[in-house]
Amino acid sequence: MAEDTKSTAEEEVIVVLIEGPNGEEEYYAQDVIIPYEGKEFAILVSVDEDDSDAEPEIIVARMDQDDDGEIVYVSPEEDEFTAVEKLYNEMFAEEE
């Protein structure tokens, strides 16, 4: 996964390139980081390059470090996914 950082006047946006199961690559923006059981999980939102009205795709990725200390985004275990999804939904519900 490639990682780009795009700066705006308000905040930095981290954009990563994710390869899907069918081999297609898509860009995702890191929306929020959720700590869970000593690990960090990123909520990634698809970047719509066509500016269409389609709903963005949202994925949960565990943030690990490779041998060089670089952040890599990997699929979480099922129990991690369920717990992080619940925490994210609770955060979202509080904002409404």
Q: pLDDT tens across 29-69, in order?
A: 999 999 999 999 999 999 877 766 778 889 999 999 999 99
Q: Which domain holds residue 79?
A: 2-95
Q: Is 46 exposed, middle or buried (0-12, 13-18, 19+ CB in 10 A)?
A: middle
Q: Count up the domains in the chain and report the number.
A: 1
Question: Looking at residues 74-91, what average pLDDT do you find?
Answer: 94
Residue 8, pLDDT above cutoff 60 = no
Q: What is the dihedral of CA 96, 9, 25, 21, to 10 degrees?
A: -30
Asked whether 72 and 65 are in contact (CB, 8 A), the reply is yes
DSSP state for residue 13 in the 8-state scheme: E
